[in-house]
């Protein structure tokens, strides 16, 4: 009897030990996302230069819609508690009609070289910026930066110069980057998939193919929002090619008993669960800062994960509706306190030109519906159920934890998934749209992270397993 | 000081009773016991008869401060729905300029309203739908408006063989003015509708409702039971909470009779997780966003009639029959005509009421404590329940009884979904008649 018990126990222990050592990779996801059947001919792999364009017709159509916009009066004293306040929205629309210059903004967008190339049947748009000059003996390090929803490649326009030309911006030029910012398929100028099931692993596979096509053997990746998940998946698919993974959001989707316990007791025994003072400050009281906050702020994710075509329909037809929907996030996700302000605090951290340029990218490309479908493709089977959610990440990881992110993930939780955290910093200020809101802070954190990885040669180099 | 005297006094009484002879003891104990039991019985009987109601309260929903002086204008003014060339041209222009995103291959209605089918609907709307004619159809029943707690509540009156029917628009919906203040919930609506009936000269009346109407009429019955002769509902909401409920759900799969579930209940409710959790999550995104950010969700819909149609018609598809998700056209025209569907959409469009209609979700759902307050108060008026098979959620009789203490009829309807009155008017009317006849006999 005792022997059997020991045998069983022994097997269990060995299983756990072995299963921990076995670092499984996520398989590369093949796909064909173009219209109809995949043709027999070889795919066109050329990389074509791309420029954003606009026409008089496009502008006059927009102005007509702005002129005919119908608004509903807000409730008295509701500020941003019921969503975007329509009194403030009228001001935005007035600026949009009379002062915002889309032609000028198109020139701003085109100041960085952009390209398109066909991968897995769809045209992928990306920005590719090389450093203007390199210090002696240095080579540019490729850095893939992935945006999220409702953002775009434009979010990176302020941080790109800090990374490609740090010296001119008062930063150390020990590491200089060549930055690649693709648009997620279905967002902005990247073609939307025509088939169902295009999820974050599909996006990661497409972006991996992109980096290979651009000739990079290894590279760094950076992301927040969906970019966080896509870059994480990329690190899981191709760990030997991702030198380092930097994130400004590090959600944990696979919650277990440990997490539950730490939520219940973490406030009183923070040390036991690996919580630092700042973690406790940001996370507790948990009902208010965790659960209720998530419930209050996740309605958009719920409807987009279930009925994207319905909710996106009106937004693709009404630029004012589109603006209201997107601006609400730029308000609340930058600082939850902004809900108490009549103008949602939107002018405090961003300027209207930047906000409207981002919205125009969704408008002129008609991509709001396809951008929302990404939620359904990723969430419809439930949170915590996907294979990639069960796998860990061994690539050196750096996490910049911004204080106004909607929900805080402590290092104690993140390290269960990201087993090789090289740096984890509590940023002094900033919210969800870090690259646009606090580009210097984010750039500094990326630079110090890469510095650590490079100095200690923290990336592994083993045999190539991928095509 | 009394801490010493009280026990001493008690002790002396006890010792005196102990010292009594047996028969004397009886003489004291038996009446004492009877008094105790009798007292409890009286209390219990009285508490049963003292029906708990919810407070009626009062409210002000107009702009700015409530005026101190002067009574509210209580006149009931006849109302006719009107339209204009300008309104129709504006609509046509928006329909013509609509931008669509092509659906995914093979998506049917699984991602929401299929935009290929939507284009067909919009083509009909632009070229065949006659709003002027529909306005005449709407005006065939008399409409009125009256000002209650400021917003103008709007209702219909129709002399009928058996019933005189009053159909108000919930404030914030259609031609009833929207509240300007926060906090307008089903209880405020219930109070306003009681005031309306009172103003129309009715002391006692029947109530019928589905969707929000079910919550509102239930609140009305809880508020003023003496005015409600009967309450007929085609959907009921009961708080599914507690260990007992979980156990009854688990047992119900194997021994339904033990937990009071009928075979039809089981057919409609199981598999439980699939139907009550998974499907509910899949269909409640709109509820989540409307209960948290109504002004955001409604903004684009108030500006794009096509977006408004997609949003509303998706419900008329999925909530009529869940299998319609698999159809490219969402099965809409199998149960309704496009004229009927578009007229309903037009009511939201011409009144610009989509945003205020959505706010109703936030006002009612974010207050968790208020919900439990009126959930504790039962419903004692005669109640009739028509349970339609394709309703989003099925509530069995045995669960309904926990809230509705006086169920006179509970009918399993043979067909139909959420929009019962629209989809199966005859079936619903028959069940209402059947219920009212029973109530009249009581």
Pairing status of strand B383-387 against strand A177-182: unpaired
CB–CB of A93/A323 below 8 Å? yes
Least CB–CB distance from B112: residue in A295, A309, A325:
A309
**Taking 60 as the threshold, does the pLDDT of residue A460 lie above it?**
no
Hey, how many other C-beta atoms are within 10 angstroms of the C-beta on A296?
18
* Spatial distance between the Cα atoms of A450 and A175, rounded to a whole number of angstroms: 8
Residue B314 to residue A307, Cβ atoms within 8 A? yes
Choose between A235 and A261: higher pLDDT: A235
CB count in 10 Å sphere of residue B95: 19
A267: in domain: no
Is A169 assigned a catalytic role?
Answer: no
Task: Pick the residue of B63, B118, B285 with the most A CBs within 10 A to test the interface with A by mutation.
Answer: B285
Taking the CA of residue B202 and the nearest CA in chain A, the distance in Å comes to: 33
How would you write the pLDDT of chain B (442 residues) with one tens digit per residue? 556 666 777 777 777 767 656 666 667 677 777 777 777 777 666 655 556 788 888 888 888 887 776 677 888 899 999 999 999 999 999 999 999 999 999 999 999 999 999 999 999 999 999 999 999 999 999 998 888 876 556 665 543 447 899 999 999 999 999 999 999 999 999 999 999 999 999 999 999 999 999 999 999 999 999 999 999 999 998 876 678 888 889 999 899 999 999 999 999 999 988 888 899 999 999 999 999 999 999 999 999 999 999 999 999 999 999 999 999 999 999 999 999 999 999 999 999 999 999 999 999 986 654 455 566 788 999 999 999 999 998 999 999 999 999 999 999 999 999 999 999 999 999 999 999 999 988 7
Minimal C-alpha gap between B365 and chain A (Å)? 11
B58 as an active site residue: the answer is no
CA distances from A235 to A218, A220, A228, A246 (A): 11, 10, 11, 11
Adjacent-strand bridge partners of A242:
A219
Round the CA-based radius of gyration of chain A to a whole number and report it.
23
Confidence of residue A21 (pLDDT cuts 50, 70, 90): very low
Res A401: pLDDT: 96
Contact check, Cβ <8 Å, B180/A76: yes
Query: Chain B residues with CB inside 8 Å of A302's CB?
Result: 281, 284-285, 288-289
Q: Does B367 touch chain A (CB under 8 A)?
A: no
Q: Has residue A5 been placed in a domain?
A: no
Q: What is the pLDDT of residue A464?
A: 43
Give the pLDDT score at A212: 97
Task: Looking at the complex, report in whole angstroms how far the Cα of residue A71 sits from the nearest Cα belonging to chain B.
Answer: 7
Please provide the DSSP assignment of B340-400 as one string: HHHHHHHHHHHHT-HHHHHHHHHHHHS-HHHHHHHHHS-B-S-EEEEE-TTSSS---HHHH
Q: What are A318's two structure tokens?
A: 């009404």
**What SS3 class is residue A466?**
coil
Q: How close B356 comes to chain A (CA, Å)?
A: 8
ipTM: 0.89
Which residues touch A274 (CB under 8 Å, ≥6 apart)?
A: A410, A411, A412
Residue B339 — φ and ψ, nearest 5°?
A: -60, -45
The predicted pLDDT at position B147 comes to: 83
The torsion defined by the Cα of A51, A52, A58 and A63, in degrees rounded to 10, comes to -150
Measure the CA–CA gap between A253 and A232, rounded to whole angstroms. 13
> Among A40-49, A420-429, B67-76, B82-91, which is the least confidently predicted range?
B67-76
Residues of A in contact with B298 (CB under 8 A): 72
* Closest residue to A310, CB basis, from B97, B291, B311: B311
Residues A261-280 have pLDDT tens digits of: 888 888 888 888 889 999 99
Q: How far is A31 from chain B (nearest CA, A)?
A: 15
Q: What mean pLDDT comes out for the span A294-298?
A: 93
Task: Report CB contact under 8 Å: B294, A296.
Answer: no
| Nearest-neighbour CA in chain A from B285: distance (Å) | 4
**Residues from chain A contacting residue B112 (CB–CB below 8 Å):** 306-313
Given A147, A388, A408, A432, which residue is catalytic?
A432
Indicate yes or no: CB of B304 within 8 angstroms of CB of A85.
Answer: no
Instruction: Find the closest chain B residue to A373 by CA distance.
Output: B111
Which among B283, B299, B356 has the least Cβ separation from residue A321?
B299
Give CA separation, A20 vs A237, A420, B39, in Å. 18, 14, 69
Which residues of chain A make contact with B125, given a CB cutoff of 8 A? none
- pLDDT of the residue at B369: 45
**Nearest Cα to Cα of residue A310 among A373, A380, A383, A367:** A373
- The confidence score (pLDDT) of residue A467 equals 46
pLDDT at B8: 74
Q: Does B408 touch chain A (CB under 8 A)?
A: no
Tokens standing for residue B417: 């979904």
pLDDT of amino acid A465: 46
**Catalytic one of A225, A335, A354, A445:** A225
Let me know if residue A295 belongs to a domain: yes
Both tokens of B229, joined, read 């002769």
How many domains are contained in chain A? 1
Mean pLDDT of A151-165: 97
**CB A320 to CB B288 under 8 A?**
no
Q: Closest residue of B to A381, CA-based?
A: B278
Say if A69 falls within a structural domain: yes
pLDDT one-digit tens code per residue, A354-410: 999 999 999 999 999 999 999 999 998 877 788 888 899 999 999 999 999 988 999
Return the closest-CA partner of residue B218 out of B393, B430, B416, B210.
B210
Whether the CB of B345 is below 8 Å from some CB of chain A: the reply is no
Of the residues B348, B361, B380, B410, only one is catalytic, namely B361
Q: Which residue of A has its CA nearest to B362?
A: A82
Q: CB distance from B365 to chain A under 8 Å? A: no
Residue A304, CA distances (Å) to A184, A300, A417, B74, B439 in order: 16, 6, 26, 45, 46
* pLDDT score at B150: 60
Q: Is B362 in CB contact (< 8 Å) with chain A?
A: yes
Which segment, A16-20, A303-307, B146-150, B269-273, is predicted with the most confidence on average?
A303-307
- Paired tokens of B67: 């005026």
Q: A299 vs B292: CB contact, 8 Å cut-off?
A: yes
Q: A328 vs A79, A92, A302, A371, B316, CA distance in Å?
A: 12, 12, 16, 17, 29
Cβ <8 Å between B63 and A76: yes
Chain B CB contacts of A84 under 8 Å are: 293, 295-296, 299
Closest in B98, B101, B303 to A321, CB measured: B303
Interchain pair A317, B304: CB under 8 A = yes
pLDDT of res. A257: 83
Query: Can you give the length of chain B in residues?
Result: 442
A75 → closest Cβ in B94, B98, B180: B180
Residues 186-245 of B with CB under 8 A from A: none
Catalytic residue among B211, B270, B329, B434, which?
Answer: B211
Question: Which residue of chain B comes nearest to A379, CA vs CA?
Answer: B282
Which residues in chain A have Cβ-Cβ distances shorter than 8 Å to B301? Answer: 314, 321
State the Cα–Cα distance between residues A31 and A195, nearest whole angstrom.
Answer: 9
> Which residues constitute the domain of residue A377?
47-254+285-464
Say which CATH number the domain at A245 has. Answer: 3.40.50.1820
Known active-site residue B412 = no
Q: Distance, in angstroms, between B336 CA and closest chain A CA?
A: 20
Note the pLDDT tens digit of each residue in A175-196: 999 999 999 999 999 999 999 9
Short-list A214, A212, A195, A206, CA closest to A230: A206
pLDDT at position B24: 66
For B:70-129, CB contacts with A below 8 A are 90, 93-94, 97-107, 111-115, 118
Of B115, B356, B362, the CB nearest to A72: B356
Is the model's pLDDT at A23 over the cut of 70? no
- Tell how strand A242-247 and strand A122-129 pair up: unpaired
Please check the confidence at residue A150 and state whether its pLDDT lies above 50: yes
Q: Is residue A424 part of a domain?
A: yes
């Amino acid at each position: 009897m005792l022997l059997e018990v020991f045998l069983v126990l022994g097997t269990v222990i060995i299983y756990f030990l072995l299963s921990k050592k076995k670092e499984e990779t996520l398989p590369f996801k093949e796909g064909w996302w173009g219209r109809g059947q995949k043709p027999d001919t070889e795919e066109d792999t050329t990389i074509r230069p791309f420029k954003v364009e606009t026409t008089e017709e496009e502008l006059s159509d927009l102005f007509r819609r702005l002129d005919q916009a119908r608004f509903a009066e807000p409730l008295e004293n509701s500020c941003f508690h019921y969503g975007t306040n329509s009194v403030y929205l009228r001001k935005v629309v007035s600026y949009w009609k009379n002062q915002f210059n889309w032609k000028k903004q198109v020139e701003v967008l085109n100041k960085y070289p952009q390209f398109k190339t066909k991968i897995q049947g769809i045209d992928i748009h990306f920005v590719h910026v090389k450093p203007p000059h390199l210090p002696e003996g240095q080579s540019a390090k490729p850095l893939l930066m992935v945006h999220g929803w409702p953002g775009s490649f434009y979010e990176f326009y302020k941080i790109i110069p800090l990374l490609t030309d740090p010296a001119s911006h008062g930063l150390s030029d020990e590491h200089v980057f060549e930055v690649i910012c693709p648009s997620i398929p279905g967002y902005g100028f990247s073609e939307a998939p025509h088939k169902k099931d295009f999820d974050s692993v599909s996006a990661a596979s497409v972006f991996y193919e992109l980096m290979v096509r651009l000739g990079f053997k290894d590279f760094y990746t950076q992301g927040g929002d969906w970019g966080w998940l896509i870059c994480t998946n990329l690190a899981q698919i191709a760990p030997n090619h991702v030198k380092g993974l930097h994130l400004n959001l590090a959600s944990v989707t696979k919650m277990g008993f440990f997490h539950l316990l730490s939520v219940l007791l973490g406030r009183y025994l923070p040390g036991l669960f690996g919580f630092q003072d700042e973690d406790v400050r940001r996370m507790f009281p948990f009902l208010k800062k965790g659960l209720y906050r998530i419930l209050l702020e996740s309605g958009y994710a719920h409807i987009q994960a279930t009925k994207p075509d319905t909710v996106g329909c009106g937004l693709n037809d009404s630029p004012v509706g589109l603006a209201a929907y997107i601006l609400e996030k730029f308000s609340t996700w930058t600082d939850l306190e902004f809900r108490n302000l009549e103008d949602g605090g939107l002018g405090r951290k961003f300027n209207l030109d930047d906000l409207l340029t981002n919205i125009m990218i969704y408008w002129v490309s008609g991509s709001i519906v396809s951008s929302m479908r990404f939620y359904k493709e990723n969430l419809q089977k439930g949170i915590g159920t996907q294979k990639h959610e069960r796998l860990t990440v061994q690539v050196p990881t750096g996490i910049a934890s911004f204080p106004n992110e909607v929900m805080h993930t402590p290092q104690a939780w993140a390290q269960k998934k990201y087993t090789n955290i090289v740096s984890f910093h509590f940023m002094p200020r900033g919210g969800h749209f870090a690259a646009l809101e606090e580009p210097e802070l984010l750039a500094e954190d990326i630079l110090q992270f890469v510095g650590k990885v490079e100095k200690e040669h923290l990336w592994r180099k083993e045999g190539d397993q991928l095509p | 000081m009394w801490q010493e005297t009280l026990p001493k006094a008690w002790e002396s009484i006890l010792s005196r009773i102990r010292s009594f002879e047996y028969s004397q003891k009886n003489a004291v104990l038996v009446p004492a016991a009877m008094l105790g039991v009798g007292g409890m019985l009286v209390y219990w009987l009285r508490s049963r008869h003292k029906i708990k109601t919810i407070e009626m309260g009062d409210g002000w929903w107009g702009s700015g401060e409530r005026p101190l002086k002067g009574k509210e204008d209580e006149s009931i003014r006849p109302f006719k729905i009107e339209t204009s060339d300008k309104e129709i041209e504006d609509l046509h222009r928006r329909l013509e300029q609509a931008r669509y995103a092509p659906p995914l291959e093979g998506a049917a209605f699984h991602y929401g309203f299929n935009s290929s089918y939507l284009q067909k609907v919009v083509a009909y709307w632009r070229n065949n739908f006659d709003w002027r004619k529909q306005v005449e159809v709407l005006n065939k029943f008399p409409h009125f408006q009256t000002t209650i707690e400021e917003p103008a509540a709007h209702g219909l009156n129709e002399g009928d063989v058996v019933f005189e029917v009053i159909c108000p628009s919930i404030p914030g919906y259609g031609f009833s003015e929207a509240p300007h203040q926060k906090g307008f919930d089903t209880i405020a609506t219930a109070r306003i509708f009681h005031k309306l009936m009172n103003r129309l000269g009715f002391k006692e009346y029947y109530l019928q409702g589905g969707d929000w109407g079910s919550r509102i009429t239930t609140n009305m019955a809880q508020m003023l039971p003496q005015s409600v002769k009967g309450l007929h509902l085609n959907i009921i909401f009961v708080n599914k909470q507690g260990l007992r409920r979980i156990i009854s759900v688990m047992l119900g799969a194997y021994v339904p009779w033990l937990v009071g579930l009928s075979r039809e209940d089981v057919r409609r409710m199981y598999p439980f997780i699939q139907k009550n959790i998974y499907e509910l999550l899949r269909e409640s995104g709109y509820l989540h966003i409307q209960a948290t950010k109504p002004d955001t969700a409604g903004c684009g819909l108030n500006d794009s009639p096509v977006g408004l149609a997609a949003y509303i018609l998706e419900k008329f598809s999925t909530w009529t029959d869940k299998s319609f998700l698999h159809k490219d056209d969402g099965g809409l025209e199998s149960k309704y005509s496009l004229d009927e569907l578009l007229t309903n959409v037009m009511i939201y469009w011409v009144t610009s009421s989509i945003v205020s209609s959505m706010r109703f979700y936030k006002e009612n759902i974010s207050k968790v404590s208020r919900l439990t307050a009126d959930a504790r108060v039962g419903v004692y008026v005669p109640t009739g329940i028509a349970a339609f098979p394709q309703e989003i959620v099925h509530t069995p009789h045995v669960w309904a009884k926990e809230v509705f203490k006086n169920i006179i009829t509970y009918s399993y309807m043979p067909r139909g979904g959420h929009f019962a009155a629209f989809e199966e008017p005859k079936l619903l009317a028959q069940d209402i008649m059947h219920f009212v006849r029973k109530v009249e006999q009581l």
